[in-house]
Amino acid sequence: MVSLLPVEPLDKAYLESLGFVWHTDSDETPYLADVLVQVSPEEAEAYYRAGNELYDMYVAAGEYVIEHNLFHEIGIPFNLVELIRESWESEVHWHLYGRFDLAGGIDGKPIKLLEFNADTPTALFETAIVQWAILKKNDLDEAAQFNVVYDALLENFKRIVTLEESVEAFKERYEGWRFLFTSVRGNPEEENTVRLLQYIADEAGFETGFAYIDEIEFDAEEGIFYRDVNYELWFKLIPWEDIALEEPDLAMLLTQIVRNQKAIIFNPAYTLMFQSKGILKVLWDLYPGHPLLLETSLKPIPGKMQVRKPLFGREGGNVAILESDGETVVADIPGEYGNYPMIYQEYVDLPQDVEGHRYQAGLFYAYESCGLGYRRGGLILDNLSKFVGHIIR
């Protein structure tokens, strides 16, 4: 059983003072759980090592996709292929951060990769900020976490300039580059996540601005502008696949902007390869039987209980758990991603508590593994799953 520590929850007014306004789910229940997952030092270290190893494997898989032109096989829209190649081949296109979703790691269960949210990962605010606040509120040791997400992002922002492990040369090389941060209108969670990243970039030393996507001007020859100011660096919490499918003209413009070296975009276009669940099949082909991986195929897996997932999707939409015949549905969630091709991944049960709630680890990665949090829900985690912090004990 998952070991839990009851805690006093943070009140809504305090959360809102932090900028955390998505504290209540659509069914009017609290989004933040009133417990912490108790993690041993050895379990925390295992998560750290797993994330670092998995990222290296993803880099190898990305290189394999590019070398063998497997973009179609993993569902990459054709109008982003050139931009992905451009961003992959130049080291200035730095991967700022991502989040691995993992099964196991606690209750004696082995760590298994479920997927990698490499482009637009959520749960950043709750992992980096809210977990600390919960420990402080409950008079617990604030350092008793595997959680250096804020500091890791601060350092990784500086690596955008230094392009190396050491960030000591940042002040010498930084030339006043302007960094624009962007989200869509009307989504407080996404906007405040972007504003948190902007705040960290400010602290790193960049000159920053914030704009909604509809306020920005894009010019193939001149770059990215907001209020007549040219920004050399642009962060967008807008999925690359949405840009490709819903804004094809923008996809073309961004390709030209990057090709003309007029702006650097975060997260880079190549993170869409990592975001695609199709790359899970590539990973299995490259590392068959690897202890961190689950068997994955583009077709139903004979004789194994499995999960059917769209190549791109969020919050469990159009995910189904299937019996070993590959057809009988055990559980599923409707969604808007059913038109995407599907992959089939070997099923693994998530660790459970005494009430039967299941726990999935979210491991943030920013140059290295840097922070842990959990989501709690049923057989398939959906948009009503809860965020659960952790404590190392």
Condensed to tens digits (0 to 9), the pLDDT of residues 356-366 reads 999 999 999 99
| pLDDT tens string 207-257 | 999 999 999 999 999 999 999 999 999 999 999 999 999 999 999 999 999
Per cent of the chain over pLDDT 90 is 87
Least confident interval from 94-98, 166-170, 303-307:
166-170
What span, in angstroms and rounded, lies between the C-alpha atoms of 84 and 104? Answer: 32
Asked whether the beta carbons of 374 and 362 are under 8 A apart, the reply is yes
Asked if the model's pLDDT at residue 147 lies above 90, the reply is yes
Count of CB atoms within 10 A of residue 367's CB?
A: 18
| Residue reference for tokens 């398939």 | 380
Give the pLDDT confidence score for residue 288 in this predicted structure: 98
pLDDT at 314: 84
Q: Which residues pair with 372 in a beta bridge?
A: 363
CA distance 319 to 307: 7
SS3 state of residue 388: strand
pLDDT for position 271:
98
Q: In the prediction, which pLDDT does 107 show? A: 93
| pLDDT over 90 (residue 50) | yes
| Of 4-13, 157-166, 267-276, minimum mean pLDDT range | 157-166
Structure-token match 């790193």, residue found:
204
Could you tell me which of 143, 141, 208 has the C-alpha nearest to residue 174?
A: 208
What is the four-CA torsion angle of 134, 205, 258, 369, rounded to 10 degrees?
A: -40
Whole-angstrom distance, CA of residue 189 vs CA of residue 170: 31
**Tell me: the pLDDT tens digits for 95-122?**
999 999 999 999 999 999 999 999 999 8
What's the one-letter identity of residue 241?
A: E
As a whole number, mean pLDDT of residues 11-23 equals: 90
CA dist 307 and 309 (Å) reads 6
Choose between 176 and 57: higher pLDDT.
Answer: 57
Strands 233-236 and 264-266: parallel
Q: Report the side by side order of strands in the sheet with 217-219.
A: 217-219, 223-226, 229-231
Task: Assess whether pLDDT exceeds 80 at residue 175.
Answer: no
Cα–Cα nearest to 147, from 42, 58, 271, 47: 47
Give the chain's mean pLDDT. 95
Which residues face 207 on adjacent strands? 178
Residue 364 has φ and ψ, to the nearest 5°, of -80, 145
pLDDT higher than 90, residue 163: no
Q: Mean pLDDT over residues 252-263, rounded?
A: 97
At residue 282, the pLDDT reads: 98
pLDDT in tens, 331-340: 999 998 988 9
How does pLDDT run across 308-327, given as a tens digit for each residue? 999 998 888 899 999 999 88
- Indicate the pLDDT class of residue 392, thresholds 50, 70 and 90: very high
pLDDT recorded at residue 199: 97
How far apart, in whole angstroms, are the C-alpha atoms of residue 229 and residue 156?
25
Task: Give the pLDDT score at 164.
Answer: 82
What integer pLDDT is reported at residue 31 of this predicted model?
Answer: 94
User: What's the whole-number mean pLDDT along residues 123-150?
Assistant: 95
DSSP state of 214: G
Separation of alpha carbons 332 and 348, rounded Å: 15
DSSP string, 180-210: EEEE-TT-HHHHHHHHHHHHHHHHHT-EEEE
Whole-number Å distance between alpha carbons of 123 and 146: 15
Query: For the whole model, what pTM was predicted?
Result: 0.96
Confidence of residue 68 (pLDDT cuts 50, 70, 90): very high
